[in-house]
Every structure is written in C-alpha cells, then in structure tokens.
Amino acid sequence: MSSTSQKHKDFVAEPMGEKPVMALAGIGEVLGKRLEEKGFDKAYVVLGQFLVLKKDEELFRDWLKDTCGANAKQQGDCYGCLKEWCDAFL
C-alpha cells in the first residue's frame, strides 16, 4: 500500500462536517473547482456519490475521471481517503 499524504491523514482523523471538497486527498484547486461547478461543493456530497456507488473502487474512479478529469493517482488518493474515513466513522 502506498503511503498516505498529510492531507489524507488530516481528513480521516475527524468527522467530515462541512469540509470543502478540496479537503479530500487527491482533490486540489483545479479538480475542486470542476467538482464545485457540478454541484459537489462539500466533501460530504462526494461521499454521498461514493456511497451511491456502493464504495466500489472502479465505479468511483470512473465517476471521478468523468466528472472532473482526475488522473489515476488523484482517483486512488480520493478513493482511499473516503474508504478509510468510512471504515472509521460508518
């Protein structure tokens, strides 16, 4: 397993609350703006899509690529972040 970023560690360390979408690992300013433009302005809205896709890695990665143009690393970072958060808090 690859090492996780500080952003990932910070995100999974506490409840999500009203964190912006850019708080998710793998989602920077450019992807964050693209997601916001499509209505995914908060991390919990992306979490909702993650759950609708039944936490399926392939489906979520494809959705992220199609929705905001995330590359493979960004997709994996975001998926891993949400999966670990769910394992801790759901």
CA 45 from centre of chain: 10
Query: Looking at residue 23, what DSSP letter applies?
Result: G
State the total domains in the chain.
Answer: 1
pLDDT in tens, 47-87: 999 999 999 999 999 999 999 999 999 999 999 999 999 99
CATH number of the domain bearing residue 38: 1.10.150.40
Amino acid sitting at position 64: L
Q: Supply the pTM of this predicted model.
A: 0.94
Query: How buried is residue 22: exposed, middle or buried, by Cβ count under 10 Å (0-12/13-18/19+)?
Result: middle
Question: Which structural domain, as residue segments, surrounds residue 42?
Answer: 4-87
Angle of helix 57-68 relative to helix 72-89, nearest 10 degrees, comes to 130
**How high is the mean pLDDT of the chain?**
96
